[in-house]
Structure formats: C-alpha cells, structure tokens
Structure 1
Amino acid sequence: ETGFDGRTQRYHHDLTGKLIRSEDEGLVTHWRYDEADRLTHRTVNGETAERWQYDERGWLTDISHISEGHRVTVHYGYDSKGRLASEHLTVHHPQTNELLWQHETRHAYNAQGLANRCIPDSLPAVEWLTYGSGWLSGMKLGDTPLVEYTRDRLHRETLRSF
C-alpha cells in the first residue's frame, strides 16, 4: 500500500493468513510464530526486535525488546483464577546483563472478579469504585478522590465531581 505521504508498505501472509513479513521503505520485518500460532518474535532487518514467551497454559508471560541497546522486559504474573496479578518491568545492561532498573505494578480484583485496584511500586494505589454489577461510581488515588459519578436509576451519569 502507498500512504498519503508516498511511503510504500508491503505485507506478506502465509497460507493461513498470518502476517510473516512486512516491508516499510528500507525496513524488512519478519514475524515468527510457534506451533500454537502464537507470535514468538519479530526481527527487523535481521536483528531481533521483540520476543514473546508463554507458559504451559498458553498465557503470555514475557515481552522483551531492545531499547537504546538495553534489554527491556515485562514479566506478567497471574493469580489462581488466571487474572493478571502483576507486571514486572526490568531493564538490563546489554553486555553484563546487570539489572539497571525495575518496577512492579500489581493488580487487585473485587469479590465479583472485576479489576478494581492498580498498585504501582512506591506510589499510591489507583482504585476504581464500583457498585452493582460493576458500574463506575468514582476513582481514587491513594485516599484522595479523583472523580465521583452520580447516576440515575438507569445508571446514566447525571453529575461528575472532581
């Protein structure tokens, strides 16, 4: 395809329709999959750009890429019900593999199984306040309300307070 800016992009698919190669001006990207048709890695001009890893259940556990020469990885953790429980971001030195930086964000769920808290390292939790089957009634950062919603009997928003 040729975009409005005159840049030409080409896409190549296998017989099942999976994207296996894309070309964007001088960049040639190859897309690789495992036997379960899950994306496993992407190369750009022969260099590994990104990798995806999965556990025995088929759940995504890691995504990694190179940024300014450093390996950046996001590790995903799940709870016993298969819900996302944590995201752990790490940055490693390219030659020594020394850990240079890390950050973790945890996720929590209410009794109904709806996501209701995001807890970043060293920062206040972000909490979504809900009622009934999950209608949003507000949001807090730590103990500080950020927004509150008033709704009518049909759950339509009638007032928003900051």
Structure 2
Amino acid sequence: MSDVNRAKEISEEPPMSRLFVICGKQITKEQLIKHFEPDGTIEECVVITDRKTGQGKGVAYVKFTKTSSAARGLRKNGTVVEGDTRPIKVMISASYNRDKNSDTSADVNENQFLRLFAIVPSNRTEEQLKEEFGTHGTVTQVRLVPDKKNDKQCAAYIKFPTFLETALAIENCNPQYKAKFC
C-alpha cells in the first residue's frame, strides 16, 4: 500500500487531531516522530513519497490520539526539525471542516477553533459555566441559548483564547455535555 493511500486512511477521530506538515524532502518519519513526540502520543506518522523514486515529497501527516496533542504540535509551526535547516509549516488537517468559500489555511487552523458548543442543564448560569470550564483555560465568553423544545437543557457556547485551551476543555469536561468544536 502506498503512503498516499495510507494518508487517506488516517482517521480524523478525534476531530482536529491530525496535522499536515510541509517539510524538507529529505525529512524522515523517524525525524518527525522525534520532533512531535513531546506534544503527545502519536497514533500515525506518514511521509508522502514519490512512487517512482521513493524520495519524500516534502509533505507529511502526523496523527495524534488527542486533539490537545495536535494543538500543542501546531505550535511547532516555523520550527526546524533536527537534521534540517529549513523551518516546517504545520497546519491542522481537517478537510471536512473547511469553509467551502475559503481557500486560506488559516481557516482550518488555530483561530477557527476557539469556541465549543455544549448541551448543559438549564439551571446552569453563565458564571457557573465560566468557573467550571475555567479549570481548562481562560474563558473569554459564555453564551446560553434556551432549548425551546426541552426546558431542562440549553445550548452553551463557550469561547477560549487558544485552540489548545478549547481542545482541553472538550476532552476534560463532563461527557454529558457532548461538547464539540463550533
């Protein structure tokens, strides 16, 4: 099976846990694993190679087991992999989340993933949620929207200043909230 087909098979669960890396053509899978390993557990690392020559194309995917690990890895954008001289470009590989009208890579990177959506009990206040979610990062905004069909729950939109804080909140909040990026 070619590396191109393997890259297509890498799961996007949990969401936003896969990084797209533009690097030097000589960069190996082992070098990338060593570079990104401090950020979290790597599920898969694929360096795309030319079918005829076997040489790297300067493109790779690094898949983490957690979204927060990918958020940490994203901060390595512009760093240099040991054994190379040029900085790498790191982006979130989240093709299903792209805005159809946009071509910019910034739309699938940190600035897009600052807010989460959660279903919370209707007796929770904005202050209570700010305090609860504040254990995972700095909450900059909480908005509650009552559910017209179910008066026992409401929708909560909670905003953080960084992708990493949002990811940590989603991973560590009460699972009954069914939190996700929005």
Give the TM bin, normalised by the shorter chain.
Answer: under 0.3
Using the size of structure 1 for normalisation, the TM-score is 0.27
Using the size of structure 2 for normalisation, the TM-score is 0.25
Rg (Cα) greater in structure: 1
More strand by share: 1
Using CA pairs below 8 Å that are at least 6 residues apart, which structure has the higher relative contact order? 2
